[in-house]
């Protein structure tokens, strides 16, 4: 097949009949494309992906950097000084603008690249038929003509014309904004229908919420409908978070205030008879010095570094604000299977109405035996119920076993894999059985239904049978009989069955019950299978109990969360006894909250107003439906909790959206859940959530550290000029010099705090209160103290030097170096919010040392190179001056350390106290 497919063809596939499609798309609706043809088409069409956001053109990006009130002021100042013939001043100012824009640009691009890189970490795959065989390929490898299979939970990987659809419903909100899922069919439709009404198409990026389907790809990448929207809006990745917005607001307010102050200063200076040009540049320097222009960039960079750190620990952030929210998480609601446990299932025991059996062997290797109570190998011919429970386990099953180099694994659901293995250990071969009992219909498993049923026809005599497996409670509702060893049936003894299940579940085993409905043949055979047709009167055949060991890191992670003041709650679909046993194993339940277990039935019986209290008190919720998860999140939130909630199924999406942090499973979860989540765990491990919370706290700490460093230094810079003008003194630091200090220290010193590693006790404090103000009383106090110390130190040395024979340029150079040295020392104090800077290892953040070294080199250049001396009006100073500078820096550090010690008390850091 080599026919070219015009991917840019008019979008008319919905008006074609399914019979026309093979010719239109040069494909085969039965066997799909050949691998070679798919590769050839891929070379022509390019990958099935949308370009990433980094496509804003360079001029636009530069313009975005300059679009800032402060920069406008600087540009105006540069123009005015140039007009007045002050070329050195004007080039310093314009140089500052340029450097600022370049730094902003680089930082923003890095942060964007970080976010774009994350997207590729969550793999998207598609099930496609090629060469007549079903396989999984990366979605990017799809080409027009590919035959794609869809089922509930999938994200549609390309635009498809449906060829088969069973009860298919698709959430097209990504495309149409309509959140109600729409039903789909395969019939041809009139050509002029709008996209939203083309019910025989499945569009890329939309989500399958129910049913299953197959379809032929008719557009990929930017040719899809989603691609068209993407082209229109340019899909820029947003870097804004509530915190960055708050800070931007704060910066704007501050800018206006400081500009007003600068205007007053200018006026006062003029009234005092100072030179207008000098006053103008002084006023500008005051503004530039006092406005913390590095703040937004530092916040973005810190968040981006946090996102990268989290990704390295296998938590992929989908929305940037989540990084902030993580730090204030107070409750983590986690499911059990796969998150707290390994999802490595092994059937260990089988119960039938007549006998108990033990199953030997470990993992998914089919080596092992089924043994009776006496230890003898059990034959399925002696206990019909054993035969049927194992047969049901393997036929009512969508998984299969795979073997690579002698290691066995499951393709599909581990629970189902374990049941295939158990049957194999008793000599029941899945492939042979599936050939003899071909499946006619399926009632798929989902967390709401909690069971699965399949209808089979015996190839030998045409007799049909319905096989059911699932949660015992659900099966008991439908069973009235149980099977004896000889295959006959008796009335169900539900007390004995429930007792047996409880005994197994108490050991932490996951128990699945099996049942069947014989239908006989001829007129009695059924062709239909739905919840109604299944009816009641089923025959219970047995129980299979499987071990799913807790993850090794789970207990430590649960303990770490508790120490950090975060409550951990298990919300599982599994049986209460199994859930309780696992909860004990991982330390979720102990003597203090031993009875904190509720079931979905308990929740259903609880009035809404009692739910928040119960949700807060209880640690384990068993047999919970996805809809109840949503109620639980809302209840916890009503108590002011910040809730992180895990989920993997289609039905979990609403709860994930409702939660402060929706957490989806990267390996085991559906696309629908990932789409609704804020964070995706690539390893599905509970310990990863704890790691992400820890990183989230680290990010917030580093932001606080930057703010604690930048505010006092900025204020000091503004204050020194303000004071000089107000007191009519000679400026101890010139406007150009202020610009130098401001621009170099923000980048070389302040920004390095973003790389600060987490402090040791980070997971021993309480969660940060959401909405807690950034600017606490303690921070304001600290700002005042440090800025006054800065101004006092610089001014004192300036005066002292002048009094002892230095000229103005030398005295100013000394003052500038005091400023920078004190800022560098204060930087080390800001490395820890909770204790003495001395306790932090000097080498734990090499960036700080590098930054200080760069800044020192800059200061030496500023002080000793003739060119810099000319531009910045500086002059070389002697070693004795440096000693005085270091003495001032040491003295101010001592005062700050004292203040820190005095105010530390019960609270932990300046930004945290009110």
Ligand X SMILES: Nc1ncnc2c1ncn2[C@@H]1O[C@H](COP(=O)(O)OP(=O)(O)OP(=O)(O)O)[C@@H](O)[C@H]1O
Positions annotated as catalytic residues are: 335
Give the 3-state secondary structure of residue 457: strand
Closest-CA residue to 64 (of 228, 255, 240, 250): 240
What does the H/E/C string look like for 158-184? CEEEEEEEEEEEEECHHHHCCCCCEEC
Quote the least distance from Cβ 840 to ligand X, whole Å.
Answer: 41
Smallest gap, in angstroms, from Cβ of residue 890 to ligand X?
Answer: 58
> Of 585 and 799, which CB lies nearer to ligand X in the complex structure?
585
Query: Shortest approach of ligand X to residue 441 CB, angstroms?
Result: 16
Whether the Cβ atoms of residue 801 and residue 810 lie closer than 8 Å to each other: yes
- The minimum distance between CB 470 and ligand X, in angstroms, equals 4
Neighbours of 607 (CB within 10 A): 6
3 state DSSP class of 549: coil
- CB-based contacts of 392, cutoff 8 Å, min separation 6: 467, 468, 469, 514, 515, 516, 541
C-beta closer to ligand X: residue 512 or 753: 512
Q: How far is CA 379 from CA 360, 386, 591, 654, in A?
A: 15, 9, 44, 47
> Token pair for residue 170?
């698709």
- Cα separation of 796 and 888, whole Å? 10
Measured between alpha carbons, how far is 269 from 71 in angstroms, rounded to an integer?
Answer: 23
Smaller CB separation from ligand X, 366 or 470: 470
Q: Where are the alpha helices (DSSP H) in 87-178?
A: 87-119, 173-176
The set of residues, in sequence order, having a beta carbon less than 8 Å from that of 902 and lying 6+ positions away, is: none
Whether the CB-CB separation of 165 and 213 falls below 8 Å is answered with yes
Name the residue nearer to ligand X (CB basis): 186 or 419: 419
Select 450 or 670, whichever has its Cβ closest to ligand X.
450
**419 vs 827, beta carbon nearer ligand X:** 419
**Pair of tokens at residue 609:** 């107003």
For residue 102, list its beta bridge partners.
Answer: none
Shortest gap between Cβ of 574 and ligand X (angstroms)?
Answer: 3
Q: Least distance (Å) from ligand X to the CB of residue 669?
A: 10
H/E element, 136: strand 133-138
Contacts from 892-895 at CB under 8 Å and sequence distance 24+?
A: 892/786, 892/789, 892/790, 892/793, 892/822, 892/825, 892/826, 893/822, 893/825, 893/826, 893/828, 893/829, 895/785, 895/789
Q: How far is the CB of 445 from ligand X (least distance, A)?
A: 4
Tell the smallest beta-carbon distance from residue 254 to ligand X (Å): 49
- Closest among 670, 671, 666 to 684, alpha carbons compared: 666
**Judged by CB, which is closer to ligand X: 415, or 708?**
415
**Based on CB atoms, which residue is closest to ligand X, 140 or 512?**
512
Distance set, CA 389 to CA 355, 410, 449 (Å):
12, 20, 20
Distance in angstroms (rounded) separating the CA atoms of residues 832 and 701: 9
CB of 573 to ligand X, least distance (A): 2
Binding site for ligand X (CB under 6 A): 335-337, 413, 415-416, 445, 447, 450-452, 469-471, 512, 572-575
Give the C-alpha distances (Å, rounded to integers) separating 801 from 180, 269, 792, 808, 906: 76, 25, 14, 9, 43
Sign of CA dihedral 378, 384, 387, 392: negative
Q: How far is the CB of 410 from ligand X (least distance, A)?
A: 11
């Amino acid at each position: 097949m080599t026919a070219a497919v015009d991917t840019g063809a008019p979008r008319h596939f919905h008006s074609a009949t399914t019979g026309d499609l093979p010719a239109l798309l040069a494909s085969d609706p039965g066997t799909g494309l050949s691998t070679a043809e798919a590769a050839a088409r891929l070379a022509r069409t390019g990958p099935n992906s949308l370009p990433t956001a980094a496509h804003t053109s360079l001029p636009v990006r530069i313009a975005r950097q300059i679009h800032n009130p402060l920069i406008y002021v600087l540009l105006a100042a540069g123009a005015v000084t140039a007009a007045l013939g002050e070329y050195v001043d004007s080039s310093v100012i314009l140089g500052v603008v340029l450097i600022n824009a370049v730094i902003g640009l680089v930082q923003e691009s890095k942060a964007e690249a970080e976010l774009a890189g994350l997207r590729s970490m969550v793999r998207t795959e598609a099930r496609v038929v090629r060469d007549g065989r079903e396989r999984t390929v990366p979605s990017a490898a799809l080409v027009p003509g590919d035959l794609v299979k869809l089922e509930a939970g999938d994200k549609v990987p390309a635009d498809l014309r449906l060829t088969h659809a069973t009860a298919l419903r698709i959430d097209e909100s990504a495309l149409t904004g309509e959140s109600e899922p729409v039903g789909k069919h395969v019939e041809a439709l009139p050509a002029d229908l709008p996209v939203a009404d083309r019910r025989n198409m499945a569009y890329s990026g939309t989500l399958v919420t129910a049913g299953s389907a197959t379809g032929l790809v008719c557009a990929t990448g930017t040719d899809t409908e989603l691609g068209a929207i993407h082209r229109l809006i340019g899909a820029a990745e947003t870097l804004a978070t509530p915190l960055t917005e708050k800070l931007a607001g704060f910066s704007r307010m501050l800018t206006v205030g400081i500009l007003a102050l600068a205007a007053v200063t200018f006026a006062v200076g003029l009234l005092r008879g100072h030179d207008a040009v000098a006053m103008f540049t002084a006023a500008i320097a005051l503004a530039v010095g006092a406005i913390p222009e590095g703040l937004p960039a530092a916040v973005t960079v810190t968040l981006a570094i946090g996102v990268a750190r989290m990704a390295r620990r296998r938590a992929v952030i989908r929305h940037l604000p989540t990084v902030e929210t993580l730090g204030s998480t107070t409750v983590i609601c986690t499911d059990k299977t796969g998150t707290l446990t390994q999802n490595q299932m092994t059937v260990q025991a089988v119960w039938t109405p007549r006998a108990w059996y033990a199953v030997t062997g470990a993992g998914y290797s089919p080596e092992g035996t089924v043994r009776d109570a006496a230890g003898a190998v059990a034959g399925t011919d002696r206990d019909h119920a054993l035969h049927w429970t194992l047969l049901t386990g393997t036929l009512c099953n969508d998984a299969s076993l795979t073997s690579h180099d002698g290691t066995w694994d499951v393709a599909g659901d581990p629970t189902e894999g374990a049941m295939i293995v158990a049957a194999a250990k008793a000599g029941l071969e899945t492939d042979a059985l599936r050939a003899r009992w071909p499946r006619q219909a399926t009632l798929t498993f989902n967390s709401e239904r909690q069971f699965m049923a399949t209808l089979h026809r015996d190839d030998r005599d045409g007799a049909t049978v319905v096989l059911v497996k699932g949660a015992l409670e659900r099966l008991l509702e439908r069973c009235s009989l149980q099977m004896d060893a000889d295959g006959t049936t008796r009335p169900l003894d539900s007390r004995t069955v429930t007792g047996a299940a409880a005994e197994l579940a108490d050991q932490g085993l996951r128990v699945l019950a099996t049942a069947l409905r014989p239908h006989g043949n001829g007129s009695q055979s059924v062709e239909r299978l739905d919840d109604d047709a299944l009816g009641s009167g089923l025959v219970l055949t047995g129980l299979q109990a499987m071990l799913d060991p807790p993850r090794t890191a789970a207990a430590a992670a649960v303990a770490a969360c508790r120490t950090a003041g975060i409550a951990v709650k298990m919300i599982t679909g599994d049986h209460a006894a199994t859930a309780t046993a696992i909860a004990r194993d991982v330390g979720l339940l102990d003597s203090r909250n031993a009875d904190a277990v509720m079931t979905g039935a308990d929740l259903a019986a609880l009035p809404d107003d009692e739910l928040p209290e119960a949700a807060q008190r209880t640690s384990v919720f068993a047999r919970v439906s996805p809809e109840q998860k949503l109620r639980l999140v809302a209840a916890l939130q009503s108590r002011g909790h910040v809730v992180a909630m895990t989920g993997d199924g289609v039905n979990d999406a609403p709860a994930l959206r409702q939660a402060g942090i929706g957490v989806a499973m990267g390996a085991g979860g559906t696309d629908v859940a990932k789409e609704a989540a804020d964070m995706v765990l690539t390893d599905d491990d509970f310990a990863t959530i704890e790691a992400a919370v820890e990183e989230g706290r680290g990010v917030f700490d580093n932001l606080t550290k930057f703010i604690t460093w930048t505010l006092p230094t900025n204020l000091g810079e503004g204050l020194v000029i303000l004071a000089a003008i107000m007191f009519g003194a000679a400026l101890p630091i010139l406007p150009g010099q202020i610009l130098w200090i401001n621009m170099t220290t923000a980048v070389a010193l302040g920004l390095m705090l973003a790389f600060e590693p987490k402090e040791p006790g980070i997971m021993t404090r309480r969660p940060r209160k959401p909405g807690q103000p950034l600017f606490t009383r303690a921070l304001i106090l600290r700002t005042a103290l440090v800025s006054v110390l800065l101004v006092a130190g610089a001014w004192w040395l300036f005066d002292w030097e002048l009094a002892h024979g230095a000229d103005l340029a030398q005295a100013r150079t000394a003052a500038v170096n005091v400023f920078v040295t004190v800022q560098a020392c204060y930087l080390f104090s800001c490395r820890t919010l909770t204790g003495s800077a001395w306790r932090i290892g000097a080498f734990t953040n090499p960036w700080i040392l590098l930054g200080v070294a760069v800044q020192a080199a800059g200061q030496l250049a500023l002080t000793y190179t003739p060119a810099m001396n000319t531009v910045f009006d500086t002059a070389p100073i002697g070693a004795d001056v440096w000693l005085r500078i270091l003495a001032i820096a040491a003295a101010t550090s001592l005062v700050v350390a004292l203040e820190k010690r005095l105010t530390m008390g019960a609270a932990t850091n300046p930004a945290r106290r009110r």
